[in-house]
Structure 1
Amino acid sequence: MAQLPQFVRMVEVGPRDGLQNEAGDVISTEIKLELIHRLADAGVPYIEAASFVSPKWVPQMGDAQAVMTGIQRKAGVTYAALTPNLKGLESAIACGVEEVAVFGAASEAFSQKNINCSIAESLERFAPVMELAKAHNIRVRGYVSCTLGCPYEGEVAPEKVAEVAKALYDMGCYEISLGDTVGVGTPLKAKAMVRAVSRHVPVDRLAAHFHDTYGQALANIYAVLEEGISVVDSSVGGLGGCPYAKGAAGNVASEDVLYMLQGLGIETGIDLDKLIATGQFITSSINRPNRSKVGLARCAD
């Protein structure tokens, strides 16, 4: 059996990735802040709280400034924001953000459909973002989407994922999150992808970001833990999901990831009961089914 990490840092993306594509009424700033505060109280060390994008394209993130300035910050917790362009970063800096994220895709078709430019063009756009972030001593995390499949291209070569991940790392991103955006990956493919990327980016600078469309997310996470990954992105209540993926089931639920890690004897510093209660809070607040198997089972007791 491969050596598993003793500690895993869980990155909570629910307030941003989980809520950004919610249809219907715009979720109130108060609910978002309550979610963020509950997550921090549960011991979550890293919370992606907002996205500084145009409200025209992502209405649910239109209150990013109010969210970031309204957080009652807890010592030891990182509150990050997605800033896909220079304007977004400038707005984030004005709010006192300490860490931001940028994103690229391993699929040309997905890049064109999602942000209307090629992979190379998307990376070029990040150069001034990286420069300004460095000038303000702001750390930048990089995302690579479609690492295990694309809704338009199908299979994605691990070498292409490695190429994009290396470009982000060389650009200055301290950590690269590898996303199975449409949730089609399986454990052996996840291992092969991580091995390809780790030939260009140190494995301790990589994170796993798996969606659960095909019910493989936990298996894939376990598989990449065996490869040395020790950072896992997840979303409380299983919120989110790629709008381009058929039958998208959302991000892997934070509660389910934590339950598995605890069962493996891996430390996280997070209180499972409080995390479950947080999942119940947000899913009931936005009238959405709770997609956490652990949350549903515990609440049925």
Structure 2
Amino acid sequence: MRNMQKLISEELLPYLQGPGQYVGLETNARCKDVTTAEVTVAMGFPDAYTIGISHLGSQVLYCVLNDLPYVACDRTYCPLPDAEQEMRRRDIPLFGWESRCALGDFDVLGFSLSYELCVTNVLTMLDLAGIPLLSADRTAANPIIVGGDALADSPEPMAEFFDVFIPGDGEEPLVALVELLRKLKPAGATRAETLLEIARTVPSAYVPRFYEPQYDAEGEFAGLKRLRDDVPETILRARLKKLTDFPALTAPLVPLFEGVHERVMIEIMRGCPNACRFCQAAHLRRPVRRRSVEE
């Protein structure tokens, strides 16, 4: 087995511009042991580290999952072109920033899909990790690929590449998903059985393989047709009823390498009371939920 830590330190980082963004070691990084965890998750942001490290949503979910004693949640980002070139040339798979484990060895690889231009980076990251691009081509040896954030509200353009989508607030569905995997892994469930149980039992989980999109005569999306009777007919967007159900982010990651937003982010509310007609978030993320000053 290749020593990933040595491989990255000696054969990758010395040849990169800005190697500090691939080191990890941020203040407040959890760095849990993936070799002893019952469920392992890699939280991926499909853009450069300098952008992803400033993304509040990813940090919130990273902390929620790592607060579970049986889960080890690592992070990964899309390498810049010079790093991608060296990784391909030296056959170094994409890895978790903290554990240095190859992404293909995790149970779950999740992506925060914040904007359309990041979609091709998802494919780059899967390819660098040696994970088949199409869900239909993956086996039990591959992680379950999960997509969330803004683009999960309109998942069909990416449905062939993802195993699961979770539209809406990710805290409760992700906790339910890893709890399910904790039960299914020791039982030796197949990939197909695992995905079916996710579709049946994880709230707001959309598993594309069990549905067929329907389109009208003009090519407009007209809904989903179930391919099995034992999966939900309608996928409801996840909504966290009370922000206090999960603790506020009090120990954000502080990078050693300069990020795009050099500031501390505090979530004071979700949703927006203004309801501007052009804004997706203002309408889909209702109702407005606020944190108190004391929180």
The structure having more radius of gyration, on CA atoms, is 2
TM-score normalised by structure 1 residue count: 0.33
TM-score (norm 2): 0.33
Q: Which has the larger share of helix?
A: 1
